[in-house]
Structure 1
Amino acid sequence: MQNALFSLKCEGQDSPVGIDTGTPILAWKVIQKGYPGRQKNFRILLSDQKENLSSLKNMLWDYKADVEENHVIYHGQELSSRSVYYWKVILTTDSGKTIESHTASFETGFLSPDCWEAQWINLSKEPLPMHQPEVNAEGEPLPVKFEEITFGPVHQVRKEFSVKKPVTHARLYMTAHGVYLPLLDGERIGQYELTPGHTMYRNQLFYQIYDITGSLTPGSHTIGAYIADGWYRGRMGFDGSNCQQGNELALLLQLELEYEDGTSDKVCSDDSFQVTEGAYIYADMMTGEKYDARLEKKDFFLNGYKNSDFRYAKVMEETYDNLRAQTGNHILVSEVLLPKNWYRLSEEEVMFDFGTCIAGRVRIQVSEEAGQEIRIEHSEVEGPGHSFTKNIITPYREQIETYICKGEPYEIYEPMFNYHGFRYVKISGLTGEINPDNFSAYVLGTEMERTSAFSCSDERVNQLQRNILRSQLSNMISIPTDCPQREKAGWTGDVQIYAATACFNQDAKNFFLHWLEDVRYCQSEDGQIPIIVPFLPGHARAFEGIGSSAGWSEVIIILPWVLYQYYGDPKILADFYDSMEKWVEYVRYTSSTENPEGLQNVTGERAEHLKYIWNTGFHFGDWLTPSVSMNPETGDVDLMQSAIMTMDIVPTFFYAYSCILMEQISHVLNKEERAGYYAKLYQKIKDAFQYEYINDDGTIKSNLQGIQVLALHTGLVEGKAKEKTIQKLVELIHENHDSLDTGFLSTPYLMDVLTEAGYKDLAWKLLYNEQFPSWLYEVKMGATSIWESWQGILPNGQISHVSMAHYAFGCIGDWMYRNILGIRSLAPGYKRILFSPDLHCGLTHAEGSYDSIHGFISCAWEIRKKDIFMTLTVPFNTEAQLSIPDASMESLTLNGKAVSCKDTNSQGIFLDLPAGNYQLTFQRETE
């Protein structure tokens, strides 16, 4: 038996603590790069004692299967709550080798709500008054003075307890209504940030598990926490409303101790917990935080606190059924940045430039007089002459921290209950000498494994990739968001556009699945999927009457499909299939029963076709189409113009695309009758589209690039009409000086449509274009992230009031990885791989990798005059193909040996490659 380097994961995590399912998914892969062979069968051994795995005695599960699958759902003996289990996998390869993994573990949390003995406790003196800001006709909040905004205070809560004997095992289970920071004896517990995160709390509220065994010695201790408004009752929502999910802060805490002698003890939240307020005057997720250091009560969290300035918590009735264990995807500090530059703006004002747009917070160290007010303001851009300017000017989005000094040397302040989107920070109130090392930026992000690497010979494209990744990291904080400053909202359209790129860059399976649970929860009874999830009262108020939108709501179909393609798990499709069908039925019913004004009384053939045209209700359409929505000279943006001009035609594209995907999904799930249903429905939509939107000459009744792209992507044009549509798209691009003019919904498909139509050279021209609008225009203008709108900064330097960190248009990454690196998936989960880089892409070298569920995949190539040098890695238990159609097979060497041309096509290189590492050299037929 041989050993190999393995990755073993339970519920997608390495040795998780606190899983709350009795049927966890156990997954494995050989991480030794290019390990040869395929899996013939596997054997799983699982026990509650590690030594049992060697003796093969007292197994809770000993399972064998003659399949190549690399994951399985546990179905052995029943698991118990709060227990540790050990497991490993033994594989037999197709060559007869047996390879054995190391031993991994997982620990269960609460497998039943009955495990909770703690009580929910209300910490608030009284409910925070709900406030709905005044809005204009567009639902946007009207200007308000910062000083007039009301907030709730941050609460401090504590409980003294006694540890009676030496402790061998201690777990703290904790969550809150609000965001909390846990402390033991005045010291922070763990490194998780902004717990418990952003969800639809009534649907799923995550509790965190902390191992504090090493911190508990016999004697007295104090457990405690700060609790702030967070996403629960802070000023979330599009209009700045507060109390979005509740108006009182609450805590749930259960500390379980096991002693050396086998006895145990518990500390549970109840009405004996003490509550007060201290130095945090307020802490709002969007607006900012105010901290008066003169009011600190840090000894409140220490043993023997004698003051009487506290009240007792109130026990409250609250459900435990919505609680879910969080075993991964925590928010963490991922990076610490020092200023790249700094500029003195006035005698007491300094601006720091941290070099890149991030999501996070700023830590300062100051020495000022007591009462001196330090004000920290954040922005993503700078003004002329290194001046400070704000690109986000929406009320209730000020991004301002205020710190009032206590008069001690070397005071350190770091906000703990929010995050901001910024690159530049203006700090006011500094009277002494400036040491830039005393100011740092803490980058926040959700804990997800990085799975990609990418670089090439064009530094502009490398910067584009860095911008894509930075925007992704800044907008994957608890949920997928549109931006880290103005809204922090889970816009469904942004997610479905960008999901494929996201999954290449990071292991995002569990992250997206948790969010999809809230998407399903927010689905209305008639099947509509909202445009934002979590869908809060403030969103409903701002977008009154908009229950869904084409291209946004299809996230319930598109995202599970993308996750299946990357992670190969059909259970994802099965879990959300009913919601998918419910959505398509809503669209079908709406299309068949509603027509816009002027078409209600249509009869005959057109009336029959109109039943399959989705042309009613409001839709965002091909949002932010440059020529429609923005003025490149003034920077003015009329967001609604794209919607107005495209909402009559775009919905039918996504109705058709939903049917295309539903047919494929139904086949995967062996629902053949439903697959046939969606195939027929698609054909009717296609016939109707051609009747309603195709002119007699075969052209589409639209002159926008994006409409041509969507028609081609969804296959609604064929024959003459398809040729005309391709021709029209190319003409429109040339007329626009070889620049794109596509919006949110069409940009993800633009490059593939051109490539498949035989215009790959034009696609490359679009990628390398530095004119406005283009990806490299942003790079040329100094972007360090992906902008919300193509005209974030105009050629004359004028700044637009848009977000500079939106990942949506970063969807180009997916095309780059497939066409520059040439790494493509031929089967779900990259079980079969195609290497087919475009060696005529204008680059001289490129290299990158994707760490798939089966293992590490890589491709690197370099052009040296006529010769091509390439290295490939194919992971264990997969197979690959290499396709270079315009290369010379006669010139090919593989791992240093010439490859015979017998029975091969000498007009190109087409090879089947089993798992392994490969070095190739060859020549192209054409230069």
Structure 2
Amino acid sequence: MLSAFMFCMTGDALAQAGSLKPDKLTCEYLVDPLGIDTKSPRLGWTLSSAERDQVQSAYEILVSDNPEDLQRQKGNVWATGKVSSARQNHIEYEGKALVPFTRYYWSVKVYDRTGVPSAWSAPAWFETAMLDATDWKAQWIGDGSLQPEKDEDRYQNDRMPLFAKEFTSAKQVASARLYISGLGYYEAYLNGEKVGDHVLDPGWTTCRKQVLYAVYDVTKMVTKGANVAGIMLGNGWWNPLPFKFFGRWDLRDYQQTGRPCVKAELHIRYADGSSQKIITDETWLTAPGPIIRNNVYLGEHYDARLEQPHWNTTRANKKRWKNAVNTEGPAGMLTAQMQPPIKVTKVIRPVKITEHKPGIFIADLGQNFAGVARLKVKGPAGTKITLRYGEALFEDGSLNMMTTVATQIKKGGIKGGPGAPETAWQEDSYTLKGEGTETWSPRFTFHGFRYVEISGWPGKPSVNDIEGLRMNSALPRNGDFACSNEMFNKLHDVIQWTFLSNVFSVQSDCPGREKMGYGADMVVSANAFMYNYDMANFYRKAVRDFANEQRPLGGITEIAPFTGIDDRGYGDLSGPLGWQLAFPYLQKQLYLFYGDRRVIEENYQAVQQQITFLQSQAKNNLFYWDISDHESIDPKPESLSASAFYYHHVMLAAEFAALLGKEEDHTKYSKLQEQIRRRIVQQFHVPGTGRFDIATQAAQLFALWYGLSPEKESSLNVLIQELERHKQHVSTGIFGTQMLFDVLRENDRNDIAFRVANQRDFPGWGSMLGKGATTLWETWRLPGTVYSLNHPMFGSLDEWFYRSLLGINPAAPGFEKVIVKPQPAGDLTWAKGSYESVRGKITSDWKIEDGKFTLNVIIPANSTAEVWLPAKENASVSERGKAIAVQRYEKGYAVVNVGSGSYVFVIR
């Protein structure tokens, strides 16, 4: 904990009137959100000030349903009055009941440390969508088609439906909103133009529990007179093929599925105050479209000869179209999509195209990523171009698709069931209509790839004829890092490509082979993700995904949404403990990084049920199997890791109970936590040696990371000896690698951490880069034809860049208090970067030059920091040229406490 003492820099002036200013107003973490469906949204803001040591002593909020009242400083739906509080986030709305489909305008005024008020902030707004299920008037509609009776027939052509509705708008439009959910995926159009820039919408959920809808502002798209709304559907996860994952699991056995369907409402408000609604019902018309097959894994096949000309405009001939059919649709509750939508975030041009064999071309895009290819082609009608995707090439230059085939379904190996392809390629195709230059990209699939094999092209494609469209959840960037080590800078960039390849509304393990939301991958990389991106709403969705999948007995699944995989689980289709851990762990990290208490409140009962289940499965407070430290080079400490994960679950339950003021529960879980700790020590600790279990790097790390060792120094020495035995290389897997850098940071052994991270040979990150990796691999070894070349789990290293090299660490929830403790190591001469917290930007920028260490620090208003400066006790410590009093010296650091502001420290 930080000391209450705040040292005042000499020469600081007292705050002047209006020195504290509210900025970046948010509602549910979003700036001016268009469609929210919570009746008690939470408001927040950042603060800025030119003065040091500024804090908020009070705030005042006004909320109005019209901008004129707000301009008159009147909150006609909520006026808090002056509230004495330093809170600036998660201020729960407590005004009049919100009305659906309404825009609310709000503003905030804050008071600084001396009570001087700011001006009112610039107005912000939030707009409600459906607040109750009864607010929906639309119906789920489909085209009336039925599923084939035989599984093998599901692999045949199945044209995706188009829907259209003509309507008249005879007045001046004041506003128009489209509320839509289409399953599996949809694209919406108004008068021939695509609505919005989302792709692969809506996000993947467990449809029997929850379905997401999006809201679009289409005011400028509605024209006076005749209009046409059009919708194109794809299968997505809602209408999967029946192939069996890894030859065992059929998604249909674990998820509600069905034929493509859509539910949508277009709300138009006119300038005269009247309104109009166009809803999906049986008056819509439908016809089959040009997408003849599509699947999330196997790709999309499009025949342009089957296009319906002008189908989404008033020019279309719809004589052969038929009426849509009302359908049951999914059972889940429709909720507003709050996580960032998936978008095309970058266009990538090929670095070269080679002709591997006559008529077979390989396009090298120079970068592994997730998305699709877009082609531009001219040729005769009926010409079929086939695209196959892969992450690597074989030695003969042909495409190696083996690391990305769906769930290892390969010829001569695992079989996918009746009708499934022998090898589950990532494959798209486009059949030309023969009308000049044609441009096309798949709509309802995505792939993981660097290389594209092109066959059937009329002539020879050039680098101008094909490009890659990188797609990912459009996460706002909130961190940056750079240092004097170019390999670390390259790794940081490679990690970002890896991370962005694996966020498609769920955080996946890989974007090609599996695409699923594995819990452990989130556990080990969550911190690294949160230092780089705003993950608040994304991880809130992930928590709900796991809650939606909670098993009847209380266990949490290995994957969410659940696909049936329960490797090394504990019955009732629950997952292994390290994968179950994602459910409570993400809640804890959301609280730590963003101060989000609500996510813990909402899921507390589910956590209790999970603990009850785990207690029923434990054997004398221990567990004996787990996937454990996946991809560890050393043998895995399976029972130790499983038991430590159990300990972690109960520890989090105890913390949540204390946070929520549930004293009886806190006592119960704390007691159980201690019982588990004692059993682990009894079972796995070798007294007098510091060794745990098999005493590998991972075994020692589990003991040290969880604070289980009664001989901490000895256990740390054993770990260091193991690292030395491996010549300062990792021998850990998914968990141990993330733990390693935490343990070395906490024990001020960043010298060792640097040597491990900086290795250029196997095993290590440098070895991957040396072999041409542009994203991180699933395994330390060259994956060959099995393991993914685009896997985020070893991206946990990026957390070390922020927490150890920059030294930015949360010391209180939401970074209300910060520890800035850069740990220079090796031959590093500088590092700089920042983290945009919910309270504002935190910056750390240091360099070693001419025998002195200089650290530039920026702490946002209303936060405090403990700054650790690497210095001996006889060193000169100054700030902006003036000597300062050091609060204390500890472990080779001079420690000072500061308030908000910008500082320049120099150590000589």
Compute the TM-score of the two structures, normalised by the length of structure 2.
0.91
CA distance, structure 2, for counterparts of residue 262 and residue 828 of structure 1:
46
Deviation at 1:306, TM superposition (A): 3.0
CA distance, structure 2, for counterparts of residue 102 and residue 303 of structure 1:
42
* Structure 1 position 286 matched with structure 2 position 313: no
Deviation at 1:448, TM superposition (A): 1.9
* Structure 1 position 108 matched with structure 2 position 120: no
CA distance, structure 2, for counterparts of residue 115 and residue 590 of structure 1:
44
Corresponding residue number in structure 2 for 1:216: 222
**Map 1:434-445 → 2, pairs under 5 A:** 434-445=461-472
* Structure 1 position 702 matched with structure 2 position 694: yes
Corresponding residue number in structure 1 for 2:883: 899
Deviation at 1:855, TM superposition (A): 0.2
* Structure 1 position 448 matched with structure 2 position 475: yes
CA contact (8 A) 1:273 1:313 kept: yes
* Structure 1 position 202 matched with structure 2 position 208: yes
Per-residue CA distance 1:795-853 (angstroms, 9 max, x = gap): xxxx3421111111111221221110011111111111111111234311110000001
Per-residue CA distance 1:92-121 (angstroms, 9 max, x = gap): 110343223110011111111111111111
Letter in 2 for 1:688: R
CA distance, structure 2, for counterparts of residue 178 and residue 392 of structure 1:
22
Q: 1:529 aligns with which of 556, 563, 573?
A: 556
CA distance, structure 1, for counterparts of residue 887 and residue 29 of structure 2:
44
Corresponding residue number in structure 2 for 1:613: 622
SS of 2:899's equivalent? Answer: strand
CA distance, structure 1, for counterparts of residue 571 and residue 553 of structure 2:
17
Moved over 6 A (4+): 32-35, 538-545
Q: 1:430 aligns with which of 437, 457, 464?
A: 457
Q: 2:739 aligns with which of 749, 752, 756?
A: 749
* Structure 1 position 912 matched with structure 2 position 897: yes
Q: 1:39 aligns with which of 45, 52, 56?
A: 56
Deviation at 1:489, TM superposition (A): 0.4
**Map 1:123-138 → 2, pairs under 5 A:** 123-129=143-149, 131=151
Corresponding residue number in structure 1 for 2:34: 17
SS of 1:98's equivalent? Answer: coil
Corresponding residue number in structure 2 for 1:253: 264
SS of 1:525's equivalent? Answer: coil
Deviation at 1:32, TM superposition (A): 6.6
* Structure 1 position 656 matched with structure 2 position 647: yes
CA distance, structure 1, for counterparts of residue 526 and residue 886 of structure 2:
43
Deviation at 1:349, TM superposition (A): 2.5
* Structure 1 position 573 matched with structure 2 position 593: no
CA distance, structure 2, for counterparts of residue 846 and residue 25 of structure 1:
36
Deviation at 1:790, TM superposition (A): 1.3
Deviation at 1:62, TM superposition (A): 0.9
CA contact (8 A) 2:167 2:228 kept: yes
CA contact (8 A) 1:186 1:298 kept: no
Deviation at 1:505, TM superposition (A): 0.9
Deviation at 1:677, TM superposition (A): 2.1
* Structure 1 position 506 matched with structure 2 position 533: yes
* Structure 1 position 309 matched with structure 2 position 320: yes
Deviation at 1:887, TM superposition (A): 4.5
SS of 1:779's equivalent? Answer: helix
Letter in 2 for 1:673: E
Assess, with a 3 A threshold, how the Cα gap between structure 1 residues 919 and 691 changes in structure 2: closer, same or farther. closer
Report the more deviating stretch, 246-255 or 723-732.
Answer: 723-732
SS of 2:237's equivalent? Answer: helix
CA distance, structure 2, for counterparts of residue 853 and residue 738 of structure 1:
37
Corresponding residue number in structure 1 for 2:13: none
CA distance, structure 2, for counterparts of residue 408 and residue 870 of structure 1:
63
Corresponding residue number in structure 1 for 2:12: none
CA distance, structure 2, for counterparts of residue 877 and residue 889 of structure 1:
33
Assess, with a 3 A threshold, how the Cα gap between structure 1 residues 421 and 386 changes in structure 2: closer, same or farther. same
Compute the TM-score of the two structures, normalised by the length of structure 1.
0.89
Corresponding residue number in structure 2 for 1:739: 729
CA distance, structure 1, for counterparts of residue 859 and residue 301 of structure 2:
54
Q: Which runs of 5+ in 2 are unaligned?
A: 1-16, 410-420
CA distance, structure 1, for counterparts of residue 687 and residue 337 of structure 2:
58
Q: 1:417 aligns with which of 439, 444, 461?
A: 444
CA distance, structure 2, for counterparts of residue 151 and residue 577 of structure 1:
46
Corresponding residue number in structure 1 for 2:10: none
Q: 1:689 aligns with which of 652, 658, 680?
A: 680
CA distance, structure 2, for counterparts of residue 351 and residue 578 of structure 1:
53
Corresponding residue number in structure 1 for 2:763: 773
SS of 2:175's equivalent? Answer: strand
* Structure 1 position 380 matched with structure 2 position 391: yes
* Structure 1 position 880 matched with structure 2 position 865: yes
**Map 1:797-812 → 2, pairs under 5 A:** 799-812=784-797
Assess, with a 3 A threshold, how the Cα gap between structure 1 residues 701 and 765 changes in structure 2: closer, same or farther. same
Letter in 1 for 2:626: H
CA contact (8 A) 1:47 1:85 kept: yes
SS of 2:578's equivalent? Answer: coil
CA contact (8 A) 2:164 2:312 kept: yes
Letter in 2 for 1:677: K
**Map 1:758-769 → 2, pairs under 5 A:** 759-769=749-759
SS of 1:18's equivalent? Answer: coil
CA contact (8 A) 1:496 1:559 kept: yes
CA distance, structure 1, for counterparts of residue 334 and residue 135 of structure 2:
11
Assess, with a 3 A threshold, how the Cα gap between structure 1 residues 538 and 676 changes in structure 2: closer, same or farther. closer
SS of 1:374's equivalent? Answer: strand
* Structure 1 position 466 matched with structure 2 position 487: no
CA distance, structure 1, for counterparts of residue 307 and residue 799 of structure 2:
50
CA distance, structure 1, for counterparts of residue 886 and residue 47 of structure 2:
34
CA distance, structure 2, for counterparts of residue 540 and residue 264 of structure 1:
54
Per-residue CA distance 1:197-232 (angstroms, 9 max, x = gap): 201112221111111111212211111111010111
* Structure 1 position 677 matched with structure 2 position 677: no
Deviation at 1:742, TM superposition (A): 1.1
Corresponding residue number in structure 2 for 1:602: none
Corresponding residue number in structure 2 for 1:367: 378
Letter in 2 for 1:442: L
CA contact (8 A) 1:152 1:229 kept: no
Corresponding residue number in structure 2 for 1:639: none
Deviation at 1:151, TM superposition (A): 5.6
* Structure 1 position 517 matched with structure 2 position 544: yes
Corresponding residue number in structure 2 for 1:625: 632
SS of 1:29's equivalent? Answer: strand
CA distance, structure 2, for counterparts of residue 217 and residue 756 of structure 1:
62
Corresponding residue number in structure 1 for 2:341: 330
CA contact (8 A) 1:820 1:841 kept: no
Identical residues among aligned pairs (%) = 28
Deviation at 1:465, TM superposition (A): 0.9
Per-residue CA distance 1:5-48 (angstroms, 9 max, x = gap): 61001111111112112211111112578875110100001111
**Map 1:257-276 → 2, pairs under 5 A:** 257-276=268-287
CA distance, structure 2, for counterparts of residue 238 and residue 215 of structure 1:
43
Assess, with a 3 A threshold, how the Cα gap between structure 1 residues 453 and 825 changes in structure 2: closer, same or farther. same
CA contact (8 A) 1:237 1:537 kept: no
CA distance, structure 2, for counterparts of residue 150 and residue 488 of structure 1:
23
Report the more deviating stretch, 387-396 or 166-175.
Answer: 387-396
Q: 2:137 aligns with which of 117, 125, 144?
A: 117
Per-residue CA distance 1:574-622 (angstroms, 9 max, x = gap): 2222222221221222114xxxxxxxxxxxxxxxxxx11222xx52122
